[in-house]
Amino acid sequence: MKKAVLVLADGTEIYAKGLGATTIKAGELVFNTSMTGYQEALTDPSYAGQILIMCYPLIGNYGINKKYVQSSRIWVEGFVVKWAEKKPSHYLSEENLHSYFLKNNVGCIYDLDTRKLVVKIREYGVMNAAYQIYEKEQKPDIQRLHKMVKELNYSNINFVPQVSTKKIQTIGQGNKKVVLLDYGAKEGIKTQLLKRKLKLVIMPYNSTAKEVLEQEPDGIVLSNGPGDPAILKKEIEQIKNLIGKVPIMGICLGNQLLGWAAGSKTYKLKFGHRGSNHPVLDKNLNRVLITTQNHGFALEQDSLPADWEVSHINLNDNTVEGIENKNKAAFAVQYHPEAQPGPHDSMYLFDKFVKML
């Protein structure tokens, strides 16, 4: 057993138990309300630079397996849970949380009041935090932790180069070719595209419009990813040069980047949307969808140009959850239609994209 301490931007110090790597790290403290899917959350590149709290109290009970992970490694800076199960029970389980975190050099803090932490974030908003996992006979470096919290500026860090592919990859076979611009794409997105018998060309985040069009794609997908979209100015300029050339579908960060390229802006939500039960209205279908979400920024509805329409609205807070320009064959949603984990209400969006090709 190891010990742990979590230091918050408001000066709060929380002492608890720790597992995984003996380490000291900082990140933006956020929470996820999903009852399952901790594997998918841990390996979602959109969580780069963040310390994740799981609201559901029992985590780790079905262990870790390779089937459901969304990338090759853990991307969260740290993990905070009420109870971390050490002896998982599931026929696919290959290891427990401690082993998994240890291999990925990440720490997990457990045996603390996560409900109290979530209430604090809901009241005051997401905040910087730092933690240390240390051996029982050691003492934590509290002064260093407070310093790390004060120095961190999440919105000024470009995490996308860390999570994007470094080279062009081609996977799948089909008559239609789709370029996936990888800003931190989840495996679930690739899986859904491949299921529709598409030839998928995965390209780095900083690919130019010229390089993308040289692939002669039938369509383009802008993936999810981490961080503040406003700092991706070069990437936004390249997307501007792609709108109207071939059909475009955006997901999560891809929605925000498409919005910026169209002429809109984004703002930071108080505590973000992260979970698997968010109700969203598809205005075109007049249908309510239950969705999986993971984002801390949203598009400004008032700054969206007249030739674009808001296609989806979040029914919890009326924020923009999707945009569309039918004349330019471009649309995007703020949530994750591939789920992983979560409900499959929005799988039709992939079919919609394929029909546009």
CA dihedral of residues 224, 226, 230, 234 (deg, nearest 10)? -70
CB distance 282 to 211 below 8 Å: no
Q: What are phi and psi of 322, to 5 degrees?
A: -175, 150
- 252 is a catalytic site residue: yes
Catalytic one among 40, 235, 324, 338?
A: 338
- 312 is a catalytic site residue: no
- 108 is a catalytic site residue: no
CB distance 19 to 133 below 8 Å: yes
Distance between terminal CA atoms of the chain? Answer: 55
Mention every residue, 6+ apart, whose C-beta is less than 8 A from residue 18: 2, 3, 4, 107, 108, 109, 110, 133, 134
DSSP annotation of 327 reads G
Catalytic one among 28, 252, 273, 321?
A: 252
Q: Which two tokens stand for residue 125?
A: 């908003």
- Number of residues that this document lists for the chain: 357
Mention every residue, 6+ apart, whose C-beta is less than 8 A from residue 266: 228, 229, 230, 256, 259, 260, 297, 298, 299, 300
CB atoms within 10 A of CB 190: 22
Distances in whole angstroms, Cα of residue 239 to Cα of each of 28, 118, 165, 166, 295: 28, 36, 18, 19, 20
Distances in whole angstroms, Cα of residue 339 to Cα of each of 42, 191, 240, 278: 14, 11, 28, 12
Question: So which residues are the catalytic ones?
Answer: 252, 336, 338
